[in-house]
């Protein structure tokens, strides 16, 4: 009742050979071929870089790099100033606690 019933593995009945595949040759006759389909021209215009547009792209990229750099430097400076002010506050609080402990 409590014993599991395990399925039995089927035994192979012999060697199995794959079915034979028949390949028929394709006959191409020169007179019945269809003309190749024409490929439509792309509808998107191609981008052509003139010296003016290349200069504008370089200038825009430089401006972006400078602006991102300035923002990152200002964030780093803000973190440094905040850390220094927290350190000064910790020194002031420590000196007040030590001064209060000496009076008692």
- DSSP at 9: P
List C-alpha distances in Å: 67 to 37, 51, 99: 52, 24, 48
Angle of CA points 21, 25, 27, to nearest 5°: 155
45-75 per-position pLDDT tens digit: 777 888 899 999 999 999 999 999 999 999 9
List, as one string, the DSSP characters of 17-83.
-PPP---PPPP--GGGPPPPPPPPPPSSPPP---HHHHHHHHHHHHHHHHHHHHHHHHHHHHHHHHH
Residue % of the chain over a pLDDT of 70: 77
| Domain limits, the chain | 72-104
CA 76/CA 72 separation, integer angstroms: 6
pTM of the prediction?
Answer: 0.45
């Amino acid at each position: 009742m409590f014993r599991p019933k395990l399925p039995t593995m089927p035994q192979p009945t012999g060697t199995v050979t794959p079915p034979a595949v028949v390949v028929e040759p394709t006959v191409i006759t020169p007179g019945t071929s269809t003309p190749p389909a024409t490929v439509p021209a792309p509808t998107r215009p191609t981008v052509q870089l003139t010296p003016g547009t290349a200069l504008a792209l370089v200038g825009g990229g430089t401006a972006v790099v400078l602006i991102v750099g300035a923002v990152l430097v200002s964030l780093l400076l803000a973190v440094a100033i905040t850390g220094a002010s927290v350190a000064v506050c910790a020194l002031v609080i420590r000196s007040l606690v030590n001064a209060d402990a000496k009076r008692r």
